[in-house]
Amino acid sequence: MITEMPLFYRAGLLLVKSIINLISFHYDLDLDIDYTVMQFRDGTFSCIADVLGNCA
């Protein structure tokens, strides 16, 4: 049985995608947005700087 994601959860993912798009555009990066959002969802990286490779 497939359940629908809560509205606030979808809005949160959209916000994350938007922020990553802005960072990507500003620094002229080529980020895989869908893969990055999956990392957020799975908790496989510890901070947003990990996306850019700068996490200490």
pLDDT digits (tens, 9 = 90+) for 4-36: 667 777 777 778 878 877 777 766 666 666 666
Place of tokens 């990553």: 20
Q: Are 49 and 55 in contact (CB under 8 A)?
A: yes
What is the reported pTM? 0.41
- Alpha carbons 11 and 18: distance in angstroms, whole number: 10
Break the chain into its structural domains and give their ranges.
Answer: 7-52
- Listed in sequence order, the DSSP H helices in 1-56 are 7-26, 33-42, 49-52
Q: Name the band, by pLDDT with cuts 50, 70 and 90, for residue 1.
A: very low
